[in-house]
Amino acid sequence: MGAMDINAYLTGWQTAIVPRILIGLLGLLIVLILARTIRSKRISLVPAILWSLAAAVLIIFSLFPQQLIRTVISTEYVMRMRIMMGFVSLLVLLITLESTRQARLQERYALLWVATALVILICAFFPSVVNLLRLLMGMNYTAAVVSVAFTFLTLVLFHFSISMSISQAKQARIAQKLALLETRVRELEERR
């Protein structure tokens, strides 16, 4: 986007009253629900912080859209990407660990997800890690991190295919055994 476009875009936000009110209301709604869940102690610390951050961003944006966007785009591009990836990896880590804690996810499946999140997190904290990839492949920072993350996600998917195949084979054996036992029970009942 050229400089002219940015100014026009920002002025557009300044005059878009209805969307701004809606966004602000959404932020307030999150604050409200968050307050209730915190009072009844149904939420742990980290999700509470993340949700209140989201609410704060929404409310500030609805009040000062122009200023917020300007402040954000005045920072360095790589820094923005690093912050965003840091958040994404924290989110993945959080969801994975929470699901494991609640025993919805087995540890052996959690491992690859945790690894994926950690790799992105390391890339966010130490951008020099992907320097070699940037140099060899001629990628920029974002593309390098995304391709590393993509590799790990592919591994996760492959892991799924393997465990699905194994489960299917086991399921077939169980179904066969069940049917054979059922036949046996029927025979015994008929004999009585």
Q: How far is CA 5 from CA 1, 24, 64, 74, 180, in A?
A: 6, 25, 19, 16, 72
Which of 48/181 has CB closer to other proteins? Answer: 181
In the complex, minimum distance from the CB of residue 190 to other proteins, in angstroms, rounded to a whole number: 10
| Calpha distance 49→12 (Å, rounded) | 31
Judge residue 20's burial from the number of C-beta atoms within 10 Å of its C-beta, 0-12 exposed, 13-18 middle, 19 or more buried: middle
What Å distances lie between residue 10 and 82, 174, 176, CA to CA?
24, 63, 66
Residues 141/127, Cβ–Cβ less than 8 Å: yes
Amino acid in position 186: R
- Closest CB 100 distance from other proteins, rounded Å: 30
Give whichever of 78 and 169 is closer to other proteins, judged by the CB atom.
169
Q: CB nearer to other proteins: give 80 or 177.
A: 177
Q: Which is nearer to other proteins, 48 or 166 (CB)?
A: 166
Report the interface residues with other proteins, using CB under 8 A.
168-169, 172, 175-176, 178-180, 182-183
Rounded Cα distance, 101 and 93, in Å: 12
Shortest Cβ distance from residue 172 to other proteins (Å)?
Answer: 5
Closest CB to other proteins among residues 11, 171: 171
* Distance in angstroms (rounded) separating the CA atoms of residues 63 and 44: 29
Q: Minimum CB separation from other proteins for residue 25, in Å?
A: 49
Smallest distance from the beta carbon of 192 to other proteins, in angstroms? 17
